[in-house]
């Protein structure tokens, strides 16, 4: 059968569209979407080596000490060697933070990941494998999930399911949940001031990969940032940005205020119910804003690509939206470095 020219035209168009989509998917923004777990293939089976290899639990900060203890008790009974527990909401807060967790997973030879959520409607557990990369998991990656309004009932179902399909080989499992130490996403020196070298060294500003957000990002820098900068493709690595001449890169992280502050090296006390943030609603007018410590916020910092040194600014200037957090940081930089 001879194909008509229209057939080949359609095939070419399809390949072009497919290529475009793959490029868009490969682009990484500053942080993952809050619903990144729902992007997994939640109809998969249990990880095949769940009962013979190590696991890490990323848990909802609202879970109580008793709920975590119950979880570890059932994991031990099932044969899941959950060697350490970390807060879930900060895992995908930003590229540097996620990379730090990946380093930890590699050092501790982790195979499996458990994500335990607590919502108003109940609990959800997701089990999947660690992909061995800085992204922790891949989009559409196979995962097993279960939900229940009662945590112990969820854990009983997990026990019955796992016991029916796998042989328990993990024997020396912790009796109690071990809460992991804070990971350090800063590879170089941590500095609570602005980089003076930005007066001469160009800054890379990765786009979001979203037309509306990118336009907003461009306008903010055009109207407020007086130094050298370049808007860049979000898919470029830091090494590639350096080859293109950028010495610094803009970083945006997002997460629960108290957890974000802690992971960035600021002192945090458990009794703090609100965090004081310096904000600039107008260019020359500094104000203080009280933000509940459990509220998600955005924080901006600049990173020197070669050294990994991080410059957080002189004040805690996180805010409720990324654009206001960016304005806070830029206006703080202009004030400290006496720039117009």
Extract the tokens encoding 277.
Answer: 């943030």
Return the pLDDT at 2. Answer: 45
Beta bridge partners of 300: 252
Residues 70-79 have pLDDT tens digits of 999 999 999 9
Residue reference for tokens 């609990």: 123
Characterize 63-78 residue by residue with b for buried, 16 or more Cβ atoms within 10 angstroms of its Cβ, and e for exposed: beeebbebbbebbbbb
The boundaries of every CATH 3.40.50 domain in the chain are: 36-165
Return the pLDDT at 35. Answer: 85
CATH C-level class of 36-165 = alpha beta
Q: Are 149 and 121 in contact (CB under 8 A)?
A: yes
Residues 24-59 have pLDDT tens digits of 333 346 877 778 999 999 999 999 999 999 999 999
Q: Are 312 and 192 in contact (CB under 8 A)?
A: yes
Residues in the chain, pLDDT under 70: 1-29, 284
Q: Are 14 and 221 in contact (CB under 8 A)?
A: no
Q: Are 232 and 206 in contact (CB under 8 A)?
A: yes
CA distances from 285 to 107, 149, 224, 230, 280 (A): 46, 48, 14, 27, 6
């Amino acid at each position: 059968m001879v194909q008509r020219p229209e057939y080949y035209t359609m095939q070419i168009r399809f390949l072009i569209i497919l290529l475009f989509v793959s490029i868009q998917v490969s682009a990484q923004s500053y942080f993952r979407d809050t619903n990144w777990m729902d992007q997994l293939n939640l109809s998969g089976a249990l990880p095949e080596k769940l009962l013979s290899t190590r696991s890490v639990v990323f848990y909802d900060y609202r879970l109580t000490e008793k709920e975590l203890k119950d979880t570890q008790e059932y994991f031990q009974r099932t044969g899941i060697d959950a060697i350490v527990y970390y807060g879930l909401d900060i895992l995908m807060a930003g590229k540097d933070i996620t990379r730090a967790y990946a380093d930890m997973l590699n050092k501790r030879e982790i195979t499996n990941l458990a994500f335990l959520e607590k919502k108003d409607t109940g609990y959800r557990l997701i089990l999947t494998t660690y992909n061995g990369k800085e992204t922790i998991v891949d989009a559409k990656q196979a995962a097993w999930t279960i939900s229940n309004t009662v945590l112990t009932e969820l854990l009983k179902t997990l026990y019955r399911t796992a016991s029916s399909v796998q042989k328990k080989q993990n024997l020396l499992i912790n009796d109690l949940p071990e809460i992991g130490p804070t990971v350090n996403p800063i590879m170089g020196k941590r500095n609570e001031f602005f980089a003076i070298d930005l007066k001469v060294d160009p800054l890379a500003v990765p786009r979001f990969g979203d037309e509306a957000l990118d336009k907003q990002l461009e306008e903010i820098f055009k109207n407020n940032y007086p130094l050298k900068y370049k808007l860049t493709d979000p898919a470029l690595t830091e090494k590639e940005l350096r080859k293109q001449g950028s010495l610094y890169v803009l970083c945006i992280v997002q997460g629960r205020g108290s957890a974000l502050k802690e992971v960035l090296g600021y002192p945090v006390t458990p009794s703090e119910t609100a965090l004081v943030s310096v904000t600039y609603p107008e260019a020359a007018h500094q104000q203080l804003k009280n933000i509940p410590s459990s509220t998600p916020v955005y924080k901006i910092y600049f990173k020197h690509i070669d050294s990994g040194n991080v410059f957080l600014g002189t004040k805690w200037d996180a805010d409720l939206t990324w654009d206001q957090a960016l304005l806070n940081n830029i206006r703080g930089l202009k004030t400290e470095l006496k720039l117009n």
